[in-house]
């Protein structure tokens, strides 16, 4: 499943597909600088901004 399929499953509330995608451990949402939420938590510039 690609990002578009994941977003479509979220939009249409297809819980089975969403659970399957999340179970695979994929963090698909990327911010404006191309980092996932998990990657951004390790970014010093993001940490400084949030303090």
State the Rg of the chain over Cα: 13
Model-level pTM?
0.41
17 or 2: which carries more pLDDT confidence? 17
34: left (phi over 0), alpha (psi -120 to 50) or beta: left
- Helix spans in the chain (H): 3-11, 15-23, 37-40, 44-50
**Residue 18: predicted pLDDT:** 81
pLDDT per residue over 23-44, tens digit each? Answer: 776 656 777 778 777 677 777 7
């Amino acid at each position: 499943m690609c990002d578009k399929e994941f977003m479509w499953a979220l939009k249409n509330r297809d819980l089975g597909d969403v659970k399957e995608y999340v179970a695979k451990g994929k963090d698909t949402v990327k911010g404006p600088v191309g980092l996932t939420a998990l990657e951004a938590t390790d970014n010093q510039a993001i940490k400084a901004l949030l303090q």
